[in-house]
Amino acid sequence: MMGMLFKKRGFFTVKDAEKVIEWMSTHPEEKELIVMADAVEESAKRRLWDYARAVKLMADMMGEEREVRVEILEGFVSGKVKGIDVEDL
């Protein structure tokens, strides 16, 4: 199953990570968060990984099975790839 893909041409920042996390928090059915950008700030990566850990921790505390896998792809961003453009969030 393909996860939710968020793409951004250029530099993916902490502000972008916050937008993605906000979107993901309203879609709890999503199990995978994929970010595709030309480059990703280290602090933005940490924010995404912290979100994934928080989801797992909250699920554990509530006795539920839920986790979100985070994948970060840096390099060329193709316009042909289907996903949500971070600029549109």
Whether this model's pTM surpasses 0.85: yes
Residue 50 contacts residue 19 (beta carbons within 8 Å): no
Chain segment 34-85, per-residue pLDDT in tens: 999 999 999 999 999 999 999 999 999 999 999 999 999 999 888 888 899 9
Distance CA 12, CA 15 (A): 8
**18 with 48: CB under 8 angstroms?**
no
